[in-house]
A and B are shown apart, each in its own frame.
Chain A
Amino acid sequence: MSIEEKSSTPPEQPRQARLDRIRSGVQRFGGHLAGMVMPNIGAFIAWGLITALFIPDGWIPNETLAQLVDPMINVLLPVLIGYTGGRLVHGQRGSVAGAVATVGIVAGADIPMFLGAMIMGPLAAYAVKLFDKFAQPRVGAGFEMLVNNFSVGIISGAMAALGMISVGPVVQSITQLLGSGVQVLIDARLLPVASVIVEPAKVLFLNNAINHGILAPLGVDRAAEMGKAVEFLIETNPGPGLGILLACLFFGPRASRATAPGAIIIHFLGGIHEIYFPYILAQPRLILAAIAGGASGVLVFLLTGAGLIATPSPGSIIALMAVTPKGSHVSVLAGVLAATVVSFLVASALLGFGRSARKAASDSEVSA
């Protein structure tokens, strides 16, 4: 009855089952990371717009309003992430503990502590959860509120102090180490190689995990320092997907030709990249086109010095343009265009410029 059953083939089952388990495990972990960031995208956009407008290089520089930039990126955004991370673990009490504990690593740090918030928020909430499990059955009638309020207060306060003294410095050096790792890749012009991992992972529904869980936290440090970061463009570039959809529109099997125009609008303008994943999953060799397109895009971004202020979410061309700093629009568009063209050409070649679709159509008529 369901498609799921038909697609699972018996001979390879044990190995396939293990791969599926690993994939869904990685998805779930990544889902938690993305789940802390994605509900707060609105705040990121607020920060991105304020930064693009009011910083000294911005569209309408304004010293007074530019004061909003640092507190938002250094305090508000990490605290929101820690709050949301706490909520995922232990509801409202968890979110309060997560927010308090996150302030512990935010205060005194010289970089935006996104990774730290992703650790401390859930950790503090988990501590409260453990306490609640132990204490709630044992609290006498009438003392619930007293115990509840003071337990969150004491635990989260202690976590904040602990975070400031021990976790904060460690996370700060890890973040800086990862950031300089990316810098090495950029300097050696090796960053396009990242597409070899990023593009296939996207199609396995790890897109949010990779962008919001890994690339965005890395990019935010550089963006705060330099005003833009190329990390935000690696996963969010709609070019590779657009190229593949265009190739499917012209040369794909008949079924995908019919849906491709709608998919192109939803993908490129709406920014919902998931819409093109099935076209690749149906014809896995198309992943080569996505990789080639993604790598070409990143290469052009590097050569032209393109970058974004904040992570564009969703990955729509409109969102990309909105968070592009003044003066970078041409280079960002150039990278998107390069990715689209390369991915379109490779995908078209892989589809045999329509020959394989015609062959498949005649084959299925024969077998039917």
Chain B
Amino acid sequence: MNTINGAQVKKVVIACDAGMGSSVLLTSQLTKALAPYSVTVEHTPVNKIPSDADVVLCHTGLADRARQSAPDTVVLGFQMFLGDPVFTQLENAIKAGDTLAG
């Protein structure tokens, strides 16, 4: 279990199987939401998560692979691509400086 304070999050990586489809969709949405906090959002394949990622977001069905690929990074799993509470949780934690764990 890794933890990070929301205030320290500078780079969020969204991972999907190929890093070309659903992750790109979420990247464009989250980039807008997180731009006010100067957090960058990137999309990658789940096997190639960059080491400078502060938080990784991916579907729960891929979370095992994300944890293997980035063992020292907070991995947050979501279930729905649209309107999942995890996205709001992440935004709120970054805004308020709450601790994120996963």
**When the two chains form their complex, are residues B79 and A3 in contact, meaning their CB atoms are under 8 A apart?**
yes
Q: Given contacts A4-B63, A28-B65, A272-B22, are A259 and B45 in contact (CB under 8 A)? A: no
**When the two chains form their complex, are residues B45 and A20 in contact, meaning their CB atoms are under 8 A apart?**
no
**When the two chains form their complex, are residues B79 and A34 in contact, meaning their CB atoms are under 8 A apart?**
no
Which B15-70 residues have C-beta < 8 A from chain A?
16-18, 20-22, 25, 45-47, 59-65, 68
Query: Within 8 Å CB of B101, what residues of A?
Result: 1-2
**When the two chains form their complex, are residues B61 and A277 in contact, meaning their CB atoms are under 8 A apart?**
yes
Query: Within 8 Å CB of A28, what residues of B?
Result: 47, 65
Asked if A46 is at the interface (CB within 8 A of a chain B CB), the reply is no
**When the two chains form their complex, are residues A266 and B25 in contact, meaning their CB atoms are under 8 A apart?**
yes
Chain B, residue nearest A267 (CB): B81
The smallest C-beta distance from B57 to any residue of chain A, in angstroms, reads 11
**When the two chains form their complex, are residues B63 and A278 in contact, meaning their CB atoms are under 8 A apart?**
no
Query: Within 8 Å CB of B59, what residues of A?
Result: 205, 274, 277-278
Query: Within 8 Å CB of A23, what residues of B?
Result: 61, 64
Query: Within 8 Å CB of A318, what residues of B?
Result: none
Query: Within 8 Å CB of A272, what residues of B?
Result: 21-22, 25
**When the two chains form their complex, are residues B18 and A3 in contact, meaning their CB atoms are under 8 A apart?**
no
**When the two chains form their complex, are residues A205 and B76 in contact, meaning their CB atoms are under 8 A apart?**
no
**When the two chains form their complex, are residues B76 and A2 in contact, meaning their CB atoms are under 8 A apart?**
yes
**When the two chains form their complex, are residues A20 and B64 in contact, meaning their CB atoms are under 8 A apart?**
yes
**When the two chains form their complex, are residues B22 and A274 in contact, meaning their CB atoms are under 8 A apart?**
yes
Which B77-101 residues have C-beta < 8 A from chain A?
77-83, 85-86, 100-101
Query: Within 8 Å CB of A259, what residues of B?
Result: 80, 82-83
**When the two chains form their complex, are residues B17 and A281 in contact, meaning their CB atoms are under 8 A apart?**
no
B binding-site residues for A, Cβ under 8 Å: 16-18, 20-22, 25, 45-47, 59-65, 68, 75-83, 85-86, 100-102
8 more contacts with CB within 8 A, not counting A2-B86, A24-B68, A278-B59, are A4-B60, A23-B61, A35-B45, A205-B62, A259-B82, A274-B21, A275-B81, A282-B79
